[in-house]
Amino acid sequence: MSSLRIAVIIGSTRPGRNGAVVADWVLAQAAGRTGAEYELVDLADFPLPHLDEPIPAKAGPALYSKDHTKVWADTIAGFDGYVFVTPEYNHSTSGVLKNAIDFLYQEWTNKVAGFVSYGAVGGARAIEHLRGVLSELQVAHVQQQLSFSMYTDFANFSEFTPAEMNVGAAQVLFDQLESWAGALKAVRAAALTPAA
């Protein structure tokens, strides 16, 4: 089995959210892949308050002062890449996902992200905002993305019924993620190796 670990992060904690069923579908599409292990990370399991660290995360993990930050940091640090499953709220991602991202810096850096979104127009605008945010954190993001419409991919706006074409698109997303995750793992390892 691959040593690469990729988190599928549910980017909503709203009651009645659709993110959990979308994330479960993503994990089902990744089942059996040998290039990486895909694991669920649910923001509902990490009750982070609005950012309450007195020192910016870029200063480094040694200066984290809150237990909830340290638990979140330990979780995120263990992954080589991420699939962000995001709703679109008001032309952007959810506040809870942006807040969770902002808590950390080095734990994200030199890793890779892919995006799966859902919303009235497929959540594409949420992805565009996330791409800008993650670029600032030095997270590479792959080109392939999946965007699900509440009108065509959800029966009654709640039962997830994605079109068959998304199965192949998901495999392209995983291929790109695993390729970049392996390359960036080597980049991180080289940064830790003392110069001769």
Show the DSSP H helices in the chain as ranges: 19-30, 67-77, 95-102, 124-136, 165-192
- What digits encode the pLDDT tens for the residues 42-88? 999 999 999 999 999 999 999 999 999 999 999 999 999 999 999 99
Q: What share of the chain is helix, strand, coil (3-state, %, to 5)?
A: 40, 25, 35
In degrees, rounded to 5, the angle at the alpha carbon of residue 11 between the alpha carbons of residues 81 and 187 is: 15
| Distance separating alpha carbons of residues 86 and 108, to the nearest angstrom | 17
Tens of pLDDT, residue by residue over 92-141, are 999 999 999 999 999 999 999 999 999 999 999 999 999 999 999 999 99
Give me the amino acid identity at 193.
T
* Residues sharing a CB contact under 8 Å with residue 46, sequence separation 6 or more, in sequence order: 68, 71, 72, 75, 100
Residues linked to residue 9 through DSSP beta bridges, in sequence order: 41, 84
DSSP three-state, residue 4 = coil
Domains of the chain (ranges; CATH) run 5-192 (3.40.50.360)
The C-alpha torsion from 95 through 116 and 31 to 75, rounded to 10°, is -30
Query: Closest Cα to residue 13, out of 129, 97, 90?
Result: 97
Given a cut of 80, whether residue 196 has pLDDT beyond it is no
